Amino acid sequence: MRKNFFLFVLAAPLSMWSCTASSTENTEVMTDQEIVKLVQNNDVNAVAQALKAGAKVQATDSDQRSLLLIATVRSQIEMAKLLVKHGADVNQQALNLDSAFLYAGATGQTELVKLYLDHGARFDVFNRYNGTALIPACERGHVETVRLLANTKDFPIDHINRLQWTGLMEAVVLGDGSVKFQQIVQILKEAGADLSIPDRDGITALQHAKAKGYKEIEQILKI
């Protein structure tokens, strides 16, 4: 009996070690490249499991695009919500200075803009044109995104980018004078935008509207 007991004691640690090793192997943390691929494939469940197992929510691709930015570029709302829930930084910038918040604003993804505003979006982080999320939204006619940002407390509605243009100026100069740009100009005016800020040549938005024949916008800016 003593011999059998002695053999059991010798074997026990080996058994315990094998179990621990197996457990460690099964919970191996996913690499950045692997979780980036899962986000690109919009595999929400797999990403959730990977994050729970210790994968980095701040992982980036070769262009330093965050997982959240990748999801934003692909308009993956549920993926974005998952990543934000796990602490993804909405202001993390890629090599080209895009962030999830800036990109969402520029592309008119109002639901994501709202999500990012609720999770720490900063107003002093700028894109490669030294612009805010609002300015390209004005340029591209994203009415509801402009409405949200222009009415967000402390948002720098009169910020001037590297081209010396505000959001209002871009709506007039780069817009086509159509209804959506008329609406944007009205929204900015009602939100308290400074209508007198000129471009680098000293020309105001009103003067540009007159020169372009945008009668409706001209009337909004006159009143």
Q: List phi, psi (to 5°) of 94.
A: -85, -175
pLDDT of residue 78: 98
DSSP secondary structure string for all residues of 158-197: T---TTS--HHHHHHHTS-S-HHHHHHHHHHHHTT--TT-
5, part of any domain = no
Cα torsion angle, 164, 165, 166, 167, sign: negative
CA torsion 70-80-87-110 (nearest 10°) is 100
Q: List phi, psi (to 5°) of 150.
A: -65, -25
Q: Compute CA distances 163 → 52, 89, 139, whole Å.
A: 44, 28, 13
In the chain, how many domains are there?
A: 2
pLDDT of residue 223: 75
Last residue of a domain, one of 109, 128, 147: 128
213, part of any domain = yes
Whether 146 and 156 map to the same domain: the answer is yes
Whether 135 and 204 map to the same domain: the answer is yes
Whether 124 and 70 map to the same domain: the answer is yes
Calpha distance 96→106 (Å, rounded): 14
pLDDT of residue 15: 36
Q: What is the CATH number of the domain that holds 197?
A: 1.25.40.20
Whether 73 and 145 map to the same domain: the answer is no
> Which of 1-10, 27-36, 180-189 has the highest mean predicted lDDT (pLDDT)?
180-189
Last residue of a domain, one of 128, 151, 178: 128
Contact 88, 58 (CB under 8 A): yes
Q: Which domain holds residue 53?
A: 32-128
Question: Using only C-alpha atoms, what is the Rg of the chain?
Answer: 26
DSSP secondary structure string for all residues of 202-222: S--HHHHHHHHT-HHHHHHHH
Angle among Cα 193, 133, 57 to the nearest 5 degrees reads 150
Q: What is the pTM of this model?
A: 0.87
pLDDT in tens, 26-42: 457 899 999 999 999 99
142, part of any domain = yes
Judged by DSSP in three states, 32 sits in: helix
Q: Compute CA distances 51 → 89, 132, 202, whole Å.
A: 15, 30, 52
Ramachandran sector of residue 168 (left: φ over 0; alpha: ψ -120 to 50; beta: rest): alpha
22, part of any domain = no
Residue 21, pLDDT > 50, answer no
102, part of any domain = yes
pLDDT of residue 12: 44
pLDDT in tens, 59-74: 999 999 999 999 999 9
Whether 167 and 88 map to the same domain: the answer is no
